[in-house]
Amino acid sequence: MGADSRFYDIFCRSLASETPAVVVSVNYRLAPEHRCPSQYEDGFDAVKFLDAVINLDGVDLGRCFLAGDSAGGNLAHHVAVRAAESEAALKRVKITGLISIQPFFGGEERTESEMRMVGVPVINMEATDWAWRSFLPEGSDRNHPAANVLRLDVSKVVGFPAATMVVVGGFDPLQDRQRSYHEWLVESGKEGVELLEYPNAVHAFYLMPDLPETPMLLADIRDFIQRHAARPFN
């Protein structure tokens, strides 16, 4: 689904209404026609575009949060790394925090939750394996750093946001990788890392506004932004 799909339009409008923020939803090139790192390039191009825009009335580019869900959570992580590595080139944009909603990470070795959670809604290992084969560079396996982000020493990436919110669903087969991502950030010395668990949530639950967890997530995102903004919002 693209940034202009009905599901994401509803979610982003709800997020903009709930939080003291301007929400920019970004489209990016899709695999298999466009393989990694095309998507990361598109995401970082959006950051550079915002940095270059002359007039954004009422928008404080010094307090930007990158957010992504599922594959977008993977993309947001890699864009945060690129932004940190290119921080000197960004004149106005400062990445204050990262909101990682059920991020889509992988690896060759199956986790316990991936092996146990067979038949759950939305996502399964056959589908995720196909997605990685379509996305990763030709000849790569799931231990490629695009998928297995834990292979990078993020403590050495100066400027990577200290504040990260990691969202995990209790019926998401990828939950073990998401918890490991949270632990990895904590062990890397990143302060302000938070783990939010929704025990009854499936993958992409937030695209179903009638589920009770969806307004809970919106409120949790609002609180996270307010806590970690460089200064209080008016």
Active site residue 228: no
Cα(213)–Cα(223) distance, integer angstroms? 15
Set 78, 100, 172, 220: catalytic member: 172
HSE, side-chain direction, 13 A CA sphere, residue 151: 11
Set 77, 203, 220, 228: catalytic member: 203
DSSP character at residue 151: G
Q: Is the CB of residue 165 less than 8 Å from the CB of residue 224?
A: yes
* Angle, helix 213-228 to helix 6-18, in steps of 10 degrees: 50
Helices within the chain (DSSP H only): 6-18, 38-52, 71-85, 112-116, 125-135, 175-187, 213-228
In sequence order, the 6+-apart residues with CB closer than 8 A to the CB of 186 are: 193
Set 70, 77, 144, 228: catalytic member: 70
Active site residue 129: no
Active site residue 203: yes
**Active site positions, annotated:** 70, 172, 203
